[in-house]
Amino acid sequence: MFEAVLLTVITAATPLLIAAVGELVVERSGVLNLGVEGMMIMGAVIGFAVANQTGSGSLGVIAAIAAGMAMSALFAVLVLFLVANQVATGLALTILGIGLSGMIGEAFIGVPGLDLPQLYIPVLSELPFFGPVFFQQDALVYLSFVLVAVVAYGLFRTRIGLVLRAVGDNHGSAHALGYSVVRVRFAAILFGGACAGLAGAYLSLAYTPQWVENMTAGRGWIALALVVFASWLPLRVVIGAYLFGAVSVLNLHAQALEFDIPSQLLSSLPYLATILVLVLISANRRLTLVNTPACLGKPFVPDR
């Protein structure tokens, strides 16, 4: 029983984790992309459609990543080159994604999906308890952890990460030193789009292998909130995503047990718990402020 619960926690947390880590990179570069939900759902529908048509889960995942990147490229052109308002553009991207995915996905409603195969890590997967939980997952779960590790290392230990943080902290200075603010941000936005698309593919190919209209159900927004509450630190995003996953799964089980608590209140628990814990761990205001990208959401126009 406990194993089963833990397994569902992982599947609930993975899409949040992937999308949030992508958005973290975007925001660290100083861009606020509120279109995560829209990019995610486009990833879900395109991933499902391609996997369904070709019969290949991997192709589906790749197509989903491409879809997320295409959406984010649209956003990047609007906010970086045409200096459109980031908040409004992000919101529009979400609305566009939800509408477009509904249209594309119409033919796939009720079509049985393709489940990504589980990968059994040799030896480790045979461990009692830990084996099934941690080493008999699909490839995307492993990938999400690799992604977090790469992003955490890349941000704080490599030159690319340093430049990215510099651009997010003070784009005027970065420009004065000769870094291309627009190029760095473009790359970051594309990375965020790829992650959101991947997260969408996880939903329609692994979490619930089918296409349902509006199936992201606000997960993109939760990923956005996680980034902020996690003070833009990758490891905290892991804590937040798993906590949110855990409480939402527990909540489902609690509802099944029919406690004498209104179900609406239970449904709000994941949100409350996540906010509470992340607020508590970000009680160190200094750390939070140092990690907040100072140029977040500010448009940049080079004076040349």
Nearer to other proteins, 231 or 251 (CB): 231
Nearer to other proteins, 75 or 300 (CB): 300
Please name the residues in contact with 200: beta carbons below 8 A apart, sequence gap of 6 or more: 15, 39, 40, 41, 42, 43, 44, 45, 46, 47, 64, 67, 68, 216
Minimum CB–partner distance for residue 90 and other proteins (Å):
23
Minimum CB–partner distance for residue 165 and other proteins (Å):
7
Minimum CB–partner distance for residue 163 and other proteins (Å):
7
Nearer to other proteins, 82 or 285 (CB): 285
Minimum CB–partner distance for residue 157 and other proteins (Å):
8
Minimum CB–partner distance for residue 19 and other proteins (Å):
24
Distance CA 239, CA 245 (A): 10
Minimum CB–partner distance for residue 1 and other proteins (Å):
46
Nearer to other proteins, 141 or 164 (CB): 164
Q: What is the dihedral of CA 21, 23, 26, 32, to 10 degrees?
A: -150
Site of interaction with other proteins (CB under 8 A): 159, 162-163, 165-166, 169-170, 172-179, 285-286, 289-294, 303-304
Nearer to other proteins, 165 or 236 (CB): 165
Nearer to other proteins, 165 or 219 (CB): 165
